Each structure stands twice: as C-alpha cells, then as structure tokens.
Amino acid sequence: MIYGYISPYQDSDPGQWGEVNLKSIQNQITSQPEADTLVVHINSGGGDVSEGFAIHDVLKATGKKIITQIEGMCASIATVIALAGEERYMTTNSEFMIHCPMMWGGGTADDLQNQADELLKIEDKVLNFYVQKTGSDKEAIQAMMKAETWLTSDQAKELGFITDVMVTMKAVATLNQKQDTMTQMTSEEFDKKWDEKSEGFFSKIMTLIKGKAKMITLTVADGTILDFGDAVEDESQIVVGSTATVDGSPAEGEYVLTDGRTLVFTAGAITDIVEAKEEETVDTLKAQLAEKDKEIADLKEAKATVDGELTTMKKEVSTLQEEFKTFKSTMKTDLGIEEPGTRKTNSSGEEVRKPFK
C-alpha cells in the first residue's frame, strides 16, 4: 500500500502522518515471504525523489512479479514507483501527473547555481527513466514534464505509462437466462417478489431497515456486511484495490456476492474479483430465496403467536372492565350514593336523602 506522501524520514509508523517510506515498504514485503506476486496499490501525490527511486528498486529486487494499481492519484515521483510493475493498471477516474522536479533553497549565487545544476541532472534522470520504461518519444515526454501534464487513464495507457485501464464491477442479482423457467431478475424485482410473498407484513419491516442502510456497505450472499468506508459511495466504484472491513477488522479471504461473483481480500484490500459461473449464480439465488422463505414463515408464526396473545389480553381487559363496573356500583351503595334517576320518599310522599356517613 503506497497511500500518501513519499517521505525520506524513516519513522516506524509513517502511516499515522499520511506518509510512506522505504522502511514501511520493506516491512510490507517481508511480512509476506510466501507471496510470489506483489500487488502495489498507489494513491500518492509524490514526495522525495531519492525515496521514490529507492522504493522502485526494492520492489524490483524482490524477484517477484510486481503488479501496480493506481487508485485515485499517481503524481510526481509516485509515477516512478508505478513503473516498477510488469503489469500496470489504473482506475478509470484516476489521474497521472508528470512534471519537472522541484526544490526550495537559498544561499549565494553559486549555491543556487549548484542547486539548479543538480535539478537538471535529476530531471534528465527521470526523463530517461520514463522513455526507457514506456518507449515514448523523448522530446514529447520532456515537453509534457515542463508543462506539468495531467493524464487520464486512457492517455496514460496510450503513452505506455500503464498497460491497461481497470474495469469496475457492480454487484447485481441475476438468474440464468438459458433456463426456460427463469428470467433475468434485478435486485428491485427480487425485493418486490419477496415482499409479495410476505403479504405486506415483512415488507414494512424491510422498509424500515432499508431506510437506514448505508450506500457504502455491501451485504454478501451469506449475510456478511462489507464496509468500504467513505472512499466508496456506489457499488460501481468497487474494484481491485478497494479496501473494506468486516465488523471493524480488515476483510480477509473470499466473499461471495449475491450474483455469484467472489471478492478476494488480502489485508483488507481486494486482490481479485472472480466471475461467477451461471449455474453457481442460480444456486446462490435459490439458496437465498429458500432462506428468505424460512424467515417469512418464522415471522408469520411469530405474528400468529402475538395475535393469540393479543386476543387473550383483550378478553382479560373486558373481564377487568366488568369487575371494575361492579366494584363502582358496590362502593356507591356502601357510601349512600344514589344511582342517577332514583328517588326515595317517606310515608307522606316527601323526598328524603340518605345521610352520608
């Protein structure tokens, strides 16, 4: 992972400062001694020239196959590291920038002249490196460096800086079109079918859940939730090199999507996306449908139990109401309170009231 400024300071944990150095790259390499291929993920605006060339040389010296993947930005000396790859990829919306090296200094006229001479040597070194790696015309590359040129993924490929543009993927649910009894089904249609089977009861619950769902998470076939964080806003942006966590820890291993594709993670980053076979896609959806049918049945059973308890409670409330009504009547009689509409008279026909005690 080369995410951040390329720094010459050999801190033990440069990542906390948003930096990468030679020591951190060496640590990443030595932590994977059994790997025969190293995938180098790059998102960097550049940094120290000497450090960049050193990282390039260390990667090449491993003797392993190097694949570089640009994910966001690859500028200045980071482009030298990118060219360490035998295979070099770049996402569609990433940027690739080349320019002449710069430095800040001071001193006498001789000091400044020496610095300028040194800069010209470095510029020539980078220029020759680009030409050797890409096979592009030297004068054309030099002109782009002096103008500080930002290249799209297609332009970088045309000039030989990368070997291919990375294709993005999108997770969708599909059924095998070759089977007469099945047709292609979108995730929205699948949800609608599910809701219809639940007779509206489960639909209300799902509406509540979906309203709180995050667009930057992806639920795989077994129910595991992959959290891609703020770097991903849409499933179409999930590509090789995208990073995700599961329950707060870096994703590791294989995760099968609802469409049958498999995302392979190493230390939290996608290292491969394996396409699904058509029969595997159908089996996955059948299993998912069976699981949801069971959930619906369980919810219906739970609803029936609640309805029964509610009926019993209504009866108990009705009984309590009758008992309370009788209790009120008894209390009025004991207290000498007449019921509305009743009168008592004496032998002379005069109305009398029972005294309150």
- The helix/strand/coil state of 183 is coil
Strand duo 245-246 + 249-250: pairing: antiparallel
Rounded CA separation 352/80 (Å): 113
Residue 41 annotated to the active site? no
Q: Single out the catalytic residue among 7, 24, 76, 153.
A: 76
At 52, list the tokens.
């960049």
- As a whole number of angstroms, the distance between CA 232 and CA 307 comes to 44
Cβ atoms of residues 246 and 224 within 8 Å? yes
Q: How far are the Cα atoms of 243, 338, 351 from residue 348, in angstroms, in the given order?
A: 101, 20, 9
Residue 265: strand pairing partners: 253, 270
The active-site residue, picked from 7, 24, 56, 99, is: 99
Distance, CA of 161 to CA of 145 (rounded, Å): 14
Q: Could you confirm whether 99 is annotated as catalytic?
A: yes
Tell me the C-alpha to C-alpha distance, in Å, between residue 48 and each of 45, 57, 87, 205, 279: 11, 14, 24, 55, 51
Q: Which two tokens stand for residue 250?
A: 């870096």
Whole-number Å distance between alpha carbons of 5 and 1: 12
Q: What share of the chain is helix, strand, coil (3-state, %, to 5)?
A: 45, 20, 35
Nearest CA to 166 out of 217, 236, 98 is that of: 236
Say how far apart CA 41 and CA 212 lie, in whole Å: 32
Q: What is the C-alpha to C-alpha distance for residues 214 and 244, in angstroms, rounded to an integer? A: 14
Measure the CA angle with vertex 244, ends 164 and 156; round to 5°: 20
State both tokens at 311. Answer: 């009926």
Cα separation, 194 vs 206, whole angstroms: 10
Instruction: Copy the structure tokens of residue 134.
Output: 């890409």
What does the alpha-carbon distance between residue 82 and residue 162 come to, in Å, rounded to a whole number? 8
Active-site residue set: 76, 99
